[in-house]
Amino acid sequence: MKRIGVLTSGGDAPGMNAAVRAVTRAAIAKGYEVIGIKRGYNGLLHGETVNLGVRDVSNIIQRGGTVLYTARCLEFKEWEYVLKAKEKCDELDLVGIVVIGGDGSFRGAADLSKAGVPCIGLPGTIDNDISCTEYTIGYDTAMNTAMEMIDKIRDTAMSHDRCSVVEVMGRNAGWIALNVGLAVGAVGILVPEMDTNIDDIIAKMEESKKTRKQHFIIVVSEGIGHSEEIAKKIEAKTGIESRATILGHVQRGGNPTLRDRVVASEMGYYAVELLDKGIGNRVVGMQNHKIVDFDIKEALAMKKPFDENLYHVADSISF
Ligand code: ADP
Ligand code: F6P
């Protein structure tokens, strides 16, 4: 019987389970057997696999994390291990693998495709930092979680007339910070893509104090970091008591939102259609709200311009 593999790799993201379910069900519906590969490329190298039947993916569409577990497998960057993985795929009789992860996972998928195992990458990361797609699985859930957390932080910032500096995830990308910053009405948003600095924000705070603004939220992207120092500098320069909060991994967990479940399901289904047509070495993405696919190497070379317009909207209506 024809067999398709599925694995999750790199940082987990809410919605990965919905993608695993979609891949499994779509493949079974087309007459395939499905092999779940545990802990990313590690599981492929070490034969950690599980047969996924229709009911094995029941009751997971709503769950965060990844039931297949995930890992960052450094060995897989070496060709020797890619060839070892190819042998494992032959032993498992796989016609192809759906790899759910970020850029690094796609590099591995391109290598494995080159070695003769057709792979399809699905963008799974909260960071939305994959250039070929306007949306990545997990992004919406992470942003909603961060927004809810900052709404709570605002209650206490307001009660104490304080400034709260909140650091959100995103690695080197400011997408989460931008959208969350706008959604929580942050007076300042610091992201690696824009050259706004803390002195600009302090000047804005001083102006806002004149119109009786008494508490402030500043969202800092992980790529900027130094939230504690930023809070201390604000307090020293403005006299406003300031606190820093790093939201951290809370943003990676929790039940996926409707958007993440829907996009993950669409992308998972689409990936199986590609493999079923004998197509590999592709990444699935979203452009203009439509599901599309690209050659992996071309996808990795693409650039995604930052939404400077949205940044200016956020900046001009929060003071
Ligand atoms: P994250 O951004 O959460 O680290 P990635 O999708 O970038 O997620 O995952 C990185 C993982 O991808 C690595 O740990 C490794 O297992 C895998 N990988 C495979 N080949 C490569 C490669 N050539 N370069 C980088 N990562 C690779
Ligand atoms: O890629 C997702 C992400 O959460 C980034 O935002 C962050 O930089 C990184 O992973 C943290 O990774 P971990 O704590 O799992 O090593």
| 103 within ligand 1 shell (Cβ under 6 A) | yes
- Each residue's pLDDT tens digit, 235-264: 999 999 999 999 999 999 999 999 999 999
Residues facing residue 317 across a β-bridge: none
Pocket, ligand 2, Cβ cutoff 6 A: 11, 125-127, 169-171, 222, 252
Catalytic residue among 12, 127, 293, 315: 127
Residue 127 annotated among the catalytic residues of the structure: yes
Nearest-atom number in ligand 1 for the CA of 125 is 3
* Cβ proximity of 293 and 282 under 8 Å: yes
Q: Tell me, using a 6 A CB cutoff, whether residue 81 lines ligand 1.
A: no
Report the sign of the C-alpha dihedral through residues 232, 233, 239, 240, in that order.
negative
Are the C-beta atoms of 187 and 154 separated by less than 8 Å? no
Residue 231's pLDDT is 98
Of the candidates 12, 10, 37, which has an alpha carbon nearest to the alpha carbon of residue 23?
Answer: 37
Pick the CATH number of 3-138+256-301 from 3.30.465.10, 3.40.50.450, 3.40.640.10, 1.20.1090.10: 3.40.50.450
Ligand approaching nearest to the C-alpha of 250:
2
Considering every ligand atom shown, identify the ligand nearest to the alpha carbon of residue 11 and give its number: 1
Q: Which two tokens stand for residue 171?
A: 């690695």
pLDDT 10s digits, 190-239? 999 999 999 999 999 999 999 999 999 999 999 999 999 999 999 999 99
- Cβ-contact 70, 15 below 8 angstroms: no
Whether ligand 1 lies within 6 angstroms of the CB of 78 is answered as no
Distance CA 20, CA 24 (A): 6
User: Given pLDDT bands bounded at 50, 70 and 90, which one contains residue 169?
Assistant: very high
Q: Report the C-alpha gap between 180 and 157 in whole angstroms.
A: 17
What class, spelled out in words, does domain 140-252 have in CATH?
A: alpha beta
> Average pLDDT for residues 34-41, to the nearest whole number?
98
Q: Using the predicted structure, report yes or no on whether residue 1 has a pLDDT greater than 90.
A: no
Does 140-252 match 3-138+256-301 at the fold level? yes
What residue ranges do the domains of the chain occupy? 3-138+256-301, 140-252
